[in-house]
Structure 1
Amino acid sequence: MFYISLFVFGVDRIIPRDSADDSWTRDFKLYIPVLDKEAWLENKSLLEEMLSFLSGDSWEVEFRGRELNDRETKFKNSIEDGKTNIEFNKVCMLSGGLDSFIGAIDLLDNGSENDTLFVSHYGGGKGVKEYQDILREKLIDRYGLTERNFYSFYASAKNGVEDTTRTRSFMFFSHAVVLASSVNQPVKLVIPENGLISLNVPLTSSRLGSSSTRTTHPFYLSLFQRLLWNLKIRVNIWNPYQFKTKGEMIRECSRIDFLQKNIANTMSCSHPDLGRYTGESEACHCGYCLPCVIRRSAIKSAGIQDETRYRDLDFTSLDTAKMNYSSYMLGLSKFDSKRAFLDIQKSGPLTQDLDKFTDLYIRGMKELIAFLED
């Protein structure tokens, strides 16, 4: 699975969307060597459905059999001999973002410091690893952890030119699955993500379908979970904040004082190193992309001081910022709580908890409205 996720992430980055007939939807056919060909053939259609939903492209995968190489055999033997010396039953994704930091705090405050691994990924550029490193040190100091609680992985595509990278979460989560497969017990994969961004309901018609990222959408996670179970990988996916807004996550954080002191050490921006084009040497929140706006509205809703530095506080610096603000306001003007149960299904099917998702969406939109109108 891990190798497949790297194949997928690689081609997603290397093949630009503007090379497609409609400048968006690409047609991929991959030929991938796997250790258990029969198992993957049985799950071929499920994998293709999951990838197609995740990235909005057309995916076809052909498998061929292979054997372990000498290096892989060595590691496999060491795991089977019990020499890994890793004992855990939870893996928590630590992206460096505000949600993942809250997730780590809440887990550790509930006594999970001895049974949880935190997994991070970075792929070059500024604005990711620096924040992950800072948060790791803060968590180590606060909770008495060691470096053994943290794993950080580098993976990037050479000559990767496509920035949408819709398949990154498959690759990111597969790092955690690799670690989880090294212990002989079921493992919980904790994905801390606020429910509003998880649903990622498009604010305007220009963001319909795969134009909105689906990296933690409930339907995608359900497909991923089914794939794990079918492959007999004992990993259970859990997003503890599926029905919470980002503002609610902040307000209900078990260590709000610790969170507030370090909120500026978290990175939520979708393009933190954009300032390099204007001579900036350090990563910074832009202030106007949707993740930044949801972050700012959540912090305002929670009523705490925001010490974060934003490049643009009032959407006036660049044409992109002005256009984003206009599109947000247009989307908010069309928001209708009576139609919310339909709107939440625009970015993907929801097969259960429709009432909970509807209420979550309305509360999240109210946070956005209060911030943007102010």
Structure 2
Amino acid sequence: MPHFNLRLDTSAPDDGESFYWTRDANSTFLGALGPSLGSLGPVPTLNIDLVRIAVGVYAADRSVPRKFGGSDWNQREISLTLPVANAAHWASRERELAGMLDFLSGDSWSMTFVDAPPAEEDVALTPVAASRVVLFSGGADSAIGALKSRFNLYEQEHHILVSHYSASHIAPIQKALEARLATFEPHRSQSHEVFHLARRAVRLDGTEFDSEPSSRSRSFLFLALGLANAAIHGVDLWIPENGFASINPPLDPGRRGSLSTRTTHPAFLTAFNALLSGSGMVGQIRNPFESWTKGEMVAWAMQQLGQDQASSYLSASNSCSSTGQRSFGVPLRVHCGVCFGCVLRRSSFAAAGLHDRTEYASPRASVELARWLERVSVMSAVRDFVATGVRPRDLMALSLPHDYKLADALDLTSRGIAELGEYVR
């Protein structure tokens, strides 16, 4: 079992694979954020601990390659030693936390916590009071969530958008989308926290880390950063995503969880909120679109903004999960058009009747690109999925919380499948 240590300084002897999170050049991590989160303001201690845990988990996830093939690809065992301010508290929650991570990434996690003194950092002044914090990934769902949050603010109220990126092409998309959003309802205000926090490719001695690209735990870090911001203001955190993708029905029996990651799965959010409330931490995580399809979200945005503004705003978002197009000279700002994120996006625009101005990779550009697009396309699997549909017994296998009614899940998935069907037929 691979074991990793997260360390806050380089003075301790290294007794295994370690990641160093420091404020100087001797850091395993890119980004300006320090391990005490001082630049954010007066973050509560347990939220600082949660971000440290998430940083360690994310770095370890990136450092253990998966075995692709069959069902082995998502069955890793990973252990961590993590420095926190309250080791006793987190030790009492270790099984609860590990279970959440197991569900999120499909792996088996175990954690040991050690008391660590807070790293010395200047603490920023408390920013303007916020009524809400919204995760803002740059995708269409987060763009609509930020729009809904802004429109729900009273005049002169403020909300905070929180973004995280590891791939450099995402940050300009997030910033440009936020600038567009700021032009709507000008009497409401917002700020935008953008975090670049990622493990470096090499260790401090210059040797390369093993690298795993899937990184399903990145969303756990994203949530922890959002919660740190929300805790300063004592408010809830929104993570907007359509409920159809959140439920995460598989495209076929051999592709469990293939529609998306489980970041907004009702079971994961229920478990995370139980951890927060059981720890006495302020705020909860909310998905304002847990009962909506993506097409319904797009239709709502069009009703608020009108056809032209909604088309311009949402087409500037990014839903593509692929990076392979760059091997054929296609910029990463151009969507592949054939991954599930792209197919769901295209079907939702079509279902709402919204003009899609998104730039998609064209198979006419080259024979090589056309072959790659055909090879990675999910269109055939989606057509089969639409033809088969989802049965109640399929939903019963998706680990939905006990209070999530099966009839509601069936209705939501039926509406989502209908939107896909209109596009892929």
Q: Is the pair's TM-score, using the shorter chain for normalization, greater than 0.5?
A: yes
Corresponding residue of 2:418:
366
CA distance in 2, matches of 1:86, 1:162: 39
Partner amino acid, structure 2, of 1:363: R
Judge conservation of contact 2:245–2:260 (CA < 8 Å) in 1.
no
Count of aligned positions: 357
Q: Hey, what's the Cα distance between the residues in 2 that align with 1:243 and 1:362?
A: 12
Residues 9 and 168 in structure 1, CA contact (< 8 A), matched pair in contact too: yes
Q: Does residue 52 of structure 2 align to residue 3 of structure 1?
A: yes
Counterpart AA for 2:278:
N
Partner of 2:421, secondary structure, is helix
Given the alignment, which residue of 62, 82, 103 partners 1:32?
82
Deviates more, 1:294-303 or 1:36-45: 36-45
Choose from 107, 124, 131 the match for 2:149: 107
1:354 to 406, 413, 417: 406
Shift of 1:365: 0.4
Shift of the alpha carbon at 1:263? 2.2
Contact 2:102 2:108 in 1 (8 A): yes
The 5 Å alignment of 1:117-132 reads 117-126=160-169, 128-132=170-174
Alignment CA distance shift 1:147-1:296 (3 Å): same
- 1:1-374 map, 5 Å: 1-18=50-67, 22-71=72-121, 74-75=122-123, 83-111=125-153, 114-126=157-169, 128-144=170-186, 149-159=191-201, 161-183=211-233, 185=234, 187-209=235-257, 213-253=261-301, 254-257=304-307, 258-271=309-322, 273-312=323-362, 317-319=370-372, 321-322=374-375, 324-336=378-390, 339=391, 341-352=392-403, 353-373=405-425
CA offsets 1:136-188 (integer angstroms, 9 cap, x no match): 111223343799611100011223722221111110011111112223x3x11
Secondary structure of 1:317's partner? helix
Q: What is the rounded CA distance, in whole Å, between the counterparts of 2:52 and 2:239 in structure 1?
A: 21
Tell me how far 1:5 sits from its aligned partner.
0.4
2: distance between equivalents of 1:85 and 1:204? 48
Residue 255 of structure 1, CA deviation: 2.3
Q: Given the superposition, is the C-alpha separation of residues 46 and 312 from structure 1 closer, same or farther in structure 2, using an over 3 Å criterion?
A: farther
**Counterpart amino acid of 2:240?**
P
Deviation at 1:85, TM superposition (A): 3.2
AA aligned opposite 2:60: V
Please report how far the alpha carbon of residue 210 of structure 1 lies from its aligned counterpart in structure 2 after TM superposition: 7.7
CA–CA separation in structure 2 for the residues paired with 1:146 and 1:13:
39
Counterpart CA distance in 2 for 1:148 and 1:108 is 8
TM-score, length basis structure 2: 0.78
Equivalent AA in structure 2 for residue 307 of structure 1: R
Query: Would you say the 8 A contact 1:124–1:156 is kept in 2?
Result: no
Partner amino acid for 1:84?
T
- Secondary structure (helix, strand or coil) at the match of 2:199 reads coil
Q: Which amino acid aligns with 2:407?
A: D
**Contact 2:231–2:282 under 8 Å retained in 1:** yes
For 1:285 and 1:145, locate their aligned partners in 2 and report how far apart those are by CA, in whole Å. 34
Sequence identity (%): 31
Cα deviation 1:73-109 (Å, max 9, x = unaligned): x42xx6xxxx313311310011111111111112212
- Unaligned stretches of 5+ residues in structure 2: 1-49, 202-209
SS of alignment partner, residue 133 of structure 2: strand
Structure 2 residue identity aligned to 1:50: M
Look up the SS of the partner of 2:83 in the other structure: strand
Task: Give, in whole Å, the separation in 2 of the partners of 1:252 and 1:110.
Answer: 13
Choose 201-210 or 214-223, whichever is displaced more: 201-210
8 Å CA contact 2:135–2:142 kept in 1: the answer is yes
The 1:16/1:256 distance shift into structure 2, 3 A limit, reads farther
Note the C-alpha offset of 1:312: 4.5
Aligned residue type for 2:173: Y
Q: State the distance in 2 between where 1:145 and 1:47 align.
A: 41
Q: How many Å separate the matches in 1 of 2:409 and 2:259?
A: 21
Amino acid at match of 1:367: E
Q: What CA distance in whole angstroms lies between the structure 2 residues aligned with 1:369 and 1:293?
A: 11
If asked which structure has higher relative contact order (CA below 8 Å, sep 6+), I would say: 1
CA apart distance, 1:57: 0.2
Using the alignment, how far apart are the partners of 2:88 and 2:341 within structure 1?
Answer: 41
Residue by residue over 1:299-330, the C-alpha shift from the partner in whole angstroms, topping out at 9 and shown as x without a partner, is 1000121111111489x923553552222222
Shift of 1:49: 0.4
SS in 2 for 1:252: helix
Question: Which residue identity is paired with 1:328?
Answer: V
SS of the equivalent of 1:359 reads helix
Could you tell me which runs of 5 or more consecutive residues in structure 1 were left unpaired when the two chains were aligned: none
Q: Which amino acid aligns with 1:47?
A: L
CA 1:35/1:210 → structure 2, altered by over 3 Å: closer, same or farther? farther
Question: Would the aligned equivalents of 2:251 and 2:258 in 1 still touch at CA under 8 Å?
Answer: no
Are the equivalent residues in 2 in contact too, given 1:247–1:298 (CA < 8 A)?
A: yes
